[in-house]
């Protein structure tokens, strides 16, 4: 069974590279939406709201002839979403929260068209070794943390901080390949 040709509602280079690994034919249709959490919104609910919202925003910009894949990834510690760091102070605080402990990375994916929405949530536990002030400062100076949820990229220089993961590595990078493939196959099967 082949995959449907889709649109990817993302400007993420990592998501493009991961989707290409599946051999899916896709075009980009970046979609900007308001990503402000709602009052008392739980992290899992937040990420599962954003993925289909991004896909629908992409669909609204398209001619509607192809399904649109949206995804969102968040880093969660103690029930709190850790966003992209605005400055070194925020980054340092985030890294101190992650240092020497485990946290959750949640990635939601959604495939939508005018009639359907299939979606899935993937949660992965990531455990960091203890980080020194020098570790944190040196990592910040690389520039890598600036556009990353939770202030780090597991596929980049922060890999050296990771003692272990329990779950999907590709979900932590930004697109869970196993679950994305299953969503595409399910979509194709029920056309």
**CA 38/CA 54 separation, integer angstroms:** 16
Annotation marks residue 72 as catalytic: yes
pLDDT digits (tens, 9 = 90+) for 37-46: 999 999 999 9
Q: Where are the domains positioned within the chain?
A: 6-189
In DSSP notation, 159-181 reads GGGEEEEES-HHHHHT--HHHHH
Q: What is the 3-state secondary structure (H, E, C) of 18-67?
A: HHHHCCCCEEECCCCCCCCCCCCCCHHHHHHHHHHHHHHHHHHCCCCCCC
Average confidence score pLDDT of the chain = 95
**CATH architecture of the region 6-189:** Alpha-Beta Complex (3.90)
**CA 28/CA 12 separation, integer angstroms:** 10
pLDDT-derived band at 2 (thresholds 50, 70, 90) equals confident
Cβ pair 74, 81 in contact under 8 A: yes
In this predicted structure, the answer to whether residue 191 has a pLDDT above a threshold of 80 is: no
pLDDT digits (tens, 9 = 90+) for 41-92: 999 999 999 999 999 999 999 999 999 999 999 999 999 999 899 999 999 9
pLDDT digits (tens, 9 = 90+) for 107-161: 999 999 999 999 999 999 999 999 999 999 999 999 999 888 899 999 999 999 9
**CA 127/CA 82 separation, integer angstroms:** 15
**CA 162/CA 42 separation, integer angstroms:** 25
**CA 93/CA 181 separation, integer angstroms:** 36
* Burial zone of 78 (CB within 10 Å; 0-12 exposed, 13-18 middle, 19+ buried): exposed
Annotated catalytic residue, options 72, 78, 113, 134: 72
Helices and strands per DSSP (H, E), number in the chain: 6, 7
Indicate the pTM of the whole model: 0.94
């Amino acid at each position: 069974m082949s995959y449907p040709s889709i649109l990817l509602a993302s400007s993420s280079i990592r998501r493009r590279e991961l989707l290409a690994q599946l051999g899916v034919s896709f075009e980009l249709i970046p979609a900007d939406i308001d990503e402000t959490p709602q009052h008392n919104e739980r992290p899992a609910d937040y990420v599962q709201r954003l993925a289909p919202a991004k896909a629908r925003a992409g669909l609204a910009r398209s001619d509607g002839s192809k399904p649109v894949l949206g995804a969102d990834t968040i880093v969660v510690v103690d029930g709190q979403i850790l966003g992209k760091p605005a400055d070194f102070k925020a980054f340092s605080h985030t890294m101190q929260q992650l240092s020497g402990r485990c946290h959750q990375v949640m990635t939601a994916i959604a495939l939508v068209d005018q009639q359907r929405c299939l979606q899935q949530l993937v949660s992965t536990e990531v455990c960091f070794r203890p980080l020194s002030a020098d570790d944190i400062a040196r990592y910040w100076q690389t520039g890598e943390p600036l556009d990353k949820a939770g202030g780090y990229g597991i596929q980049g220089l922060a890999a050296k901080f990771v003692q272990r993961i329990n779950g999907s590595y590709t979900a932590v990078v930004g697109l869970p390949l196993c679950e994305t493939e299953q969503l595409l196959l399910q979509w194709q099967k029920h056309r």
